[in-house]
């Protein structure tokens, strides 16, 4: 029986292999994922010091694949991180340094100095961050840097027959029940059943209008008035005349009387969306109609609606008629964010993490705002998932989208 004697690696070869293995571990790479033109067995033997022949060519090619033209000294610098750097920080720092050495970055003349200028920081600060010497927590700054140089695939991908293609287009987003829509439905039901006013107020982007439209779709007795900066008492009466199928008179008084007669002894409900934007006199006829026809009215708007009703004298008579007035909503819940993400991506997005901490972070990242998630972030996430279905979505990629596309800092 004969045995092949393993090749004795030189000190430089040993150091290179150790650094290569560290880099592969940092980036989550396996020998199978390295496309170096050598047989897989040769790559495995070279990386485990089991070659029976000189592995120099294999080592050189793998080194070039991971580090391009960087020297051993440059790579070793990244091993001196101080205690402020977490494992994730060290991994991201490595990815940034590798990215800066890529031909694409060199062709664009992107350097640590240009990054410093873009971020409004000194070149010395960026150098400290990338060399692991920054004294404070570096996470946010490193994510901001990555957002400037990340190679995120944000262009629209081509649809294939083999794989389901999911996209989000404004105006065609399906309704997904959330805590906002449930509370709006409750406000509408309270006003209709008690034949008085109800108020729902919340920050922009929580899905208020979506919830109202869904309520009206299931409750044909509801009359929806879409308010705006141009909506006055005359426009409110006109929309009610149109919704009730009545003939319009030149006289506002006669129009109101027609509306009252048509609504009296019915189970109808009037909903005024964007009530905070309407002109001051827009709510006046609704008070009279509600009193005389004995029907409910629901006012929906931004937080400013509460200030108007509670502080402006002309709205006192309406505020005193409110039977249901929940506390204004500033954000949707973490569970809402998870539900919207999961339902609208239809299972095609692979997540690097799917525990409670991830959804809490994503909630914070989109500031608890459904519009920020659905209309701003998810279209780019879906484009990425459609183009690269095997690549997991993580905090780094999300921060990269916000930084490079939505012009918002890392979280």
Q: What is the pLDDT of residue 162?
A: 52
Q: What is the pLDDT of residue 72?
A: 72
Q: What is the pLDDT of residue 335?
A: 96
User: SS3 of 38, please?
Assistant: coil
In sequence order, which residues have a C-beta less than 8 Å from that of residue 351 and are 6 or more positions away? 358, 392, 393, 394
How far is Cα 397 from Cα 311, in angstroms, rounded to an integer?
45
User: Residue 372: is its pLDDT beyond 90?
Assistant: yes
CB atoms within 10 A of CB 196: 18
Quick: pLDDT tens for 336-358: 999 999 999 988 888 988 999 99
The per-residue b/e assignment along 90-103, b for 16 or more CB within 10 angstroms, e otherwise, is bbbbbbbbbbbeee
Q: What is the pLDDT of residue 411?
A: 73
Stretch 184-188: mean pLDDT: 96
User: CA Rg, the chain, in Å?
Assistant: 31
User: Residue 261: is its pLDDT beyond 50?
Assistant: yes
Q: Would you state the structure tokens that stand for residue 319, as one six-digit string?
A: 């505020």
User: Residue 161: is its pLDDT beyond 50?
Assistant: no
Q: Which of 6-15, 148-157, 310-319 has the lowest mean pLDDT?
A: 148-157
Q: What is the pLDDT of residue 1?
A: 42
Distances (CA, A) of 348 to 18, 263, 409: 37, 48, 27
In sequence order, which residues have a C-beta less than 8 Å from that of residue 377 and are 6 or more positions away? 366, 398, 401, 402, 406
Q: What is the pLDDT of residue 159?
A: 46
Helical H runs in 48-178?
56-67, 72-76, 87-100, 103-107, 112-119, 123-130, 139-149
Q: What is the pLDDT of residue 135?
A: 81
When pLDDT is cut at 50, 70 and 90, the band that residue 77 belongs to is low
Q: What is the mean pLDDT of the chain?
A: 86
């Amino acid at each position: 029986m004969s045995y092949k004697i393993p090749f004795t690696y030189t000190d430089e070869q040993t150091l290179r292999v150790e650094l290569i293995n560290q880099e592969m571990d940092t980036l989550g790479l396996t020998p199978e994922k390295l496309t170096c033109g050598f047989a897989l067995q040769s790559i495995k033997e070279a990386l485990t010091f089991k070659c029976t022949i000189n592995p120099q060519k294999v080592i050189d090619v793998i080194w070039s694949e991971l580090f391009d033209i960087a020297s051993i000294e440059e790579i070793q610098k990244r091993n001196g991180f101080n205690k402020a750097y977490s494992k994730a920080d060290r991994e991201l720092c490595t990815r940034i340094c590798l990215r800066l050495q890529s031909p694409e970055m060199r062709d664009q003349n992107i350097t640590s100095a240009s990054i410093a200028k873009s971020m409004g920081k000194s070149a010395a600060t960026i150098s400290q961050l990338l060399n692991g010497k920054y004294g404070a927590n570096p996470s946010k700054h490193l994510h901001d840097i990555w957002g400037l140089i990340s190679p995120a695939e944000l262009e629209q991908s081509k649809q294939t027959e083999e794989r389901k293609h999911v996209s989000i287009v404004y105006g065609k987003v399906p309704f997904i029940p959330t805590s906002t829509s449930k509370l709006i439905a409750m406000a509408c039901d309270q006003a209709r059943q008690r034949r008085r006013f109800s108020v729902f107020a919340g920050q922009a982007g929580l899905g208020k209008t979506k919830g109202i439209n869904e309520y009206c779709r299931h409750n044909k007795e509801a009359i929806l008035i879409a308010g705006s900066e141009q909506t006055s008492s005359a426009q409110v009466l006109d929309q009610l005349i149109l919704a009730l199928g009545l003939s319009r008179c030149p006289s506002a008084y006669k129009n109101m009387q027609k509306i009252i007669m048509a609504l009296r002894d019915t189970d109808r409900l009037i909903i005024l969306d964007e009530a905070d934007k309407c002109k001051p006199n827009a709510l006046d006829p609704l008070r009279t109609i509600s009193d005389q026809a004995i029907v409910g009215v629901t006012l929906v708007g931004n937080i400013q609606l509460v200030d108007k009703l509670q502080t402006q004298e002309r709205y006192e008579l309406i505020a005193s008629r409110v039977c249901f007035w929940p506390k204004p909503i500033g954000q949707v819940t973490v569970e809402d964010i998870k539900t919207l993400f999961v339902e609208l991506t239809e299972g095609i997005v692979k997540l690097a993490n799917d525990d409670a901490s991830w959804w809490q972070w994503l909630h914070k990242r989109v500031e608890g705002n459904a519009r920020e998630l659905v209309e701003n972030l998810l279209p780019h996430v879906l484009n990425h998932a459609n183009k690269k279905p095997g690549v997991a979505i993580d905090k780094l990629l999300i921060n990269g989208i916000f930084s490079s596309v939505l012009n918002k800092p890392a979280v």
